[in-house]
Amino acid sequence: METGTYEYFASAGANKVISAKPAILKRIIIGKDVSSGVVEVSNDVADGDADVQIYLEGSTLMTATGGVVEVNAYFSKGICADLTNQTNVTFIIQPSS
């Protein structure tokens, strides 16, 4: 059985801390199509554009991905995101042991 936690962000903004310590980002759930939406995910504990590992952009992110982006990637420092215009985003994480 998969275990994990989630962080949900209803509004856009910079430096959204998803995990302040090493973790595995399992998936990103995009809950809404937003004009000029950008999801930028970094391997950092506080800066959403410090060491960018994932960059998604487009006005139809939710429609284009079916709402779910499978990631399954280890972030050695932490996970932080910049959400430009993009609202209703959930990050599913698994803490690192």
Q: Looking at this protein, which amino acid is placed at residue 5?
A: T
pLDDT value, residue 51:
96
Whole domain around residue 17: which residue ranges?
A: 5-95
pLDDT value, residue 97:
65
* Structural domain count, the chain: 1
Nearest-angstrom CA–CA distance, 1 and 87: 29
Output b/e per residue, 35-56; b: 16+ Cβ within 10 A: eebbbbbbbbbebbbeeeebeb
Confidence bin at 1 (pLDDT 50/70/90): very low
Residue 10: CATH number of its domain: 2.60.120.340
pTM, entire model: 0.93
Report whether 13 contacts 85 (CB < 8 A). Answer: no
Structure tokens belonging to residue 3: 């275990």
Q: pLDDT, tens digit, for every residue of 39-92? A: 999 999 999 999 999 999 999 999 999 999 999 999 999 999 999 999 999 999
Structure tokens belonging to residue 58: 């487009």
Calculate the CA 65 to chain-centre distance.
14
